Chains A and B, each alone.
Chain A
């Protein structure tokens, strides 16, 4: 596939063109960067490192209706995801895209999750390569990803200075290129090589790493190991590490009814670090303390998920390390697992 280029002057135009879809792009409020649906290209903030909240919420919304009902009536109306329309997520990082590819496996495991899958089908992911790893805590390369990784993406943009190099990776990506045909130009011939060099350079700048080999197999043997108590002692049991993790996908289901009797059954993000996540109606809690919950979190990502899907449910984006308020560091935990 021939590479294209999108000059920076034309980005606004391109975004305007894409606004005919549901366009999601990074935006800044105060000092926080989050992905948002944007209507005005000026809202997009492309000079960002990585977003605080991963763009997963546009495939797997924090709160989403499963079906609507009127109490007492037998008619249930499933949410029609198609109404949301075609979506373009513009400018997400390779790790976040790869995370979606990983989570796809779960949502199509035996039972297809119609909402998630439909939304994924309707979504085109336009990635933005990390010319510089945005955080000292990035470690995507340890998990098979890369700052220039393409897994899960439909299109990859690379910041070449004055312009973005555009590479279509899938049919969806090509289609999008067509949409943007009047903004795109052919890329200079040597850009492919240039980009490769940049990728290597960027990978070289990744500062943190972990050798994941053997971890999935080893984890179950460390069940009773003292390390869990130690690494979890400071944990607050909050939702930061899981809500901000691009691969975390747990949810709760609750019904909400209005006085009128109209209501919906909806699902919302839940976190395995919350205390009430596993409590039974009897009050018994199989994971009563933060130790068990931390152990489950790590095991889920690094042992159970690979057991079912042959892939570790972590992409090394470093968010949990950056934002954990008490500096619980997954790499330190994994180091201890390796050393144990």
Chain B
């Protein structure tokens, strides 16, 4: 068995900024330096990887591309501290190292035939992107797909061009929002939970997946309940500080669950049982 602490080298095929500012977001499209790794690699939407640079350190990120996108992996990384700042310095042609896939994944097989609504905020769209992509690439297997996404300003929206493309396709419905009024913004203005109430997706035969800042998630969960979603219809991902990613180093647990192994994907039904999950 492979030493789980030794990462694979990946080369950056392309890199671009999604959002500006102090906590800017950069997306990297990478492929394994050693092509052979692809043969053993398999990940599912929701899986994560430890991403790092030897000499700097490692951090956990979700793989923001779907396995249906072949030949590359994507990571969308917000600048937050030491590791992410170093990663942000990298450009196409450079390389970094990843370990994974780690963690569990969204039970997309179980969701077959259901309507799916994703509710994202800011960088929280990163783990939702592979779900959306997966469904669009396996469109027949799923019911309606509805996307709800918001960020502080239009600048802060991730995956802008993709949303434009999706918005104009008839694949799914796409609802966007920003927190504060801006000129020429054609979509909703307000917080994501309000947008959710505005869109009011039906709970019947539906699954809601949400990810974003903790406050947003809290209100989204409340609102989903109001809309009639039961806890086992709702999924989210958690982000706790972690070091090893393989259930040894201790810190990422919420209650007895290890975010790195039992998560990061959890159903609301699961989390409701654990008081620490909403600390």
Contact = CB atoms under 8 A, between A and B. Distances in A.
Nearest to A287: B279
Contact of B279 (A252, A255, A263, A292): A292
Given A74-B33, A74-B95, A280 B239 contact: yes
A120 interface: no
Contact of A107 (B248, B250, B253): B248
Contacts of B254: 286
Contacts of B239: 280
Interface residues of A, number: 50
A223 B81 contact: no
Interface string B239-279: 11101101111110111100001000000000000011001
B18 interface: no
A176 B163 CA distance: 68
Interface in A265-286: 265, 267, 270, 272, 277-282, 284, 286
Question: What is the interface of chain B mostly: helix, strand, loop, or mixed?
Answer: loop
A220 to B, nearest CB: 7
B21 interface: no
A71 interface: yes
A287 B277 CA distance: 11
A113 B248 contact: yes
Contacts of A263: 54-55
Contact of A270 (B9, B58, B240, B249): B249
Contacts of B276: 223, 286
A300 interface: yes
Interface stretch (A45-53, A150-158, A303-311): A303-311
B80 interface: yes
A226 to B, nearest CB: 15
B246 to A, nearest CB: 4
B123 to A, nearest CB: 11
B214 interface: yes
Contacts of B9: 74
B267 to A, nearest CB: 18
Contact of B250 (A71, A251, A261): A251
A13 to B, nearest CB: 40
Given A74-B95, A278-B240, A300-B253, A251 B248 contact: yes
A78 B3 contact: yes
B84 A281 contact: yes
A255 B247 contact: no
Given A78-B6, A270-B250, A282 B54 contact: no
A114 B52 CA distance: 20
Interface in A65-85: 66-67, 69, 71, 74, 76, 78
B9 to A, nearest CB: 5
B107 interface: no
A69 B58 CA distance: 14
Contact of B275 (A78, A224, A272): A224
Given A220-B255, A223-B275, A304-B253, A255 B248 contact: no
A286 to B, nearest CB: 5
Given A74-B95, A220-B255, A69 B54 contact: yes
Given A74-B33, A286-B279, 14 more contacts: A69-B55, A76-B97, A78-B6, A111-B4, A112-B4, A113-B248, A114-B3, A114-B5, A220-B275, A251-B249, A257-B55, A279-B241, A281-B84, A292-B279
14 contacts: A76-B7, A106-B247, A106-B248, A110-B247, A223-B276, A249-B248, A250-B250, A255-B52, A261-B55, A263-B55, A265-B5, A267-B244, A280-B239, A280-B240
